[in-house]
Amino acid sequence: MRPPSSEYSSGFGHYVALVAEDDVVAAMRGQAEEWHARLGAVTEAQSRFRYAPGKWSVREAVGHVIDSERIFAYRALCLARGEQQALPGFEQDDYAAVAGHDEVSLAALASEFASLRASHIRMFEHFTDEAWTTIGIVNGHPTSARAMAYVLVGHARHHSNVLRDKYGL
């Protein structure tokens, strides 16, 4: 069941809106297959491409999706378990600047994403009905575990669209 807008910050609205599916775990599975096919078709030389000066390479963009996937899933887990402490935001450009993703092969990044996504699918499959709707604070806003699952899928979909539209992949 889709999260109502009261379960996430308006800053996440774009990502949630990109998820048309009502079954977010099925969307995760399908997306994992899409990313596997897409990244498998990219050469290592293509993976260093930047569509403009100062923009991330393909490797850096994929690395950013991996970092964000970890953060969004961690937040979902915390919320599902009833965490009472507010969870912080993160600055994506600061993370990307020190991550070193350009020095990791695209094949390794693709494998990492696949493993990570498989793990997250299993985690979300085991959430109880109550866990999905548990509300906590993320970056100063009331947020549910369900919303974080939709953000996770929508964020990866956003970057899939960027890879298509800006990188030609």
What homologous superfamily is domain 5-165 in, according to CATH? dinb family like domain (1.20.120.450)
User: What's the predicted TM-score (pTM) here?
Assistant: 0.95
Token reading at 113? 């994403």
Question: pLDDT grade, residue 72 (50/70/90)?
Answer: very high
Separation of alpha carbons 40 and 61, rounded Å: 15
The pLDDT, as a whole number, for residue 47 is 97
- Residue 123, classified by CB atoms within 10 Å of its CB into exposed (0-12), middle (13-18) or buried (19+), is middle
* SS3 state of residue 143: strand
Four-CA torsion 16, 22, 28, 30, nearest 10 degrees: -120
The pLDDT, as a whole number, for residue 111 is 98
- pLDDT tens digits along 9-53: 999 999 999 999 999 999 999 999 999 999 999 999 999 999 999
In the chain, domain spans: 5-165
The pLDDT, as a whole number, for residue 2 is 92
- pLDDT tens digits along 76-105: 999 999 999 999 999 999 999 999 999 999
The pLDDT, as a whole number, for residue 153 is 98
The pLDDT, as a whole number, for residue 1 is 85
Residue 157: closest CA among 73, 65, 93: 65
- pLDDT tens digits along 102-150: 999 999 999 999 999 999 999 999 999 999 999 999 999 999 999 999 9
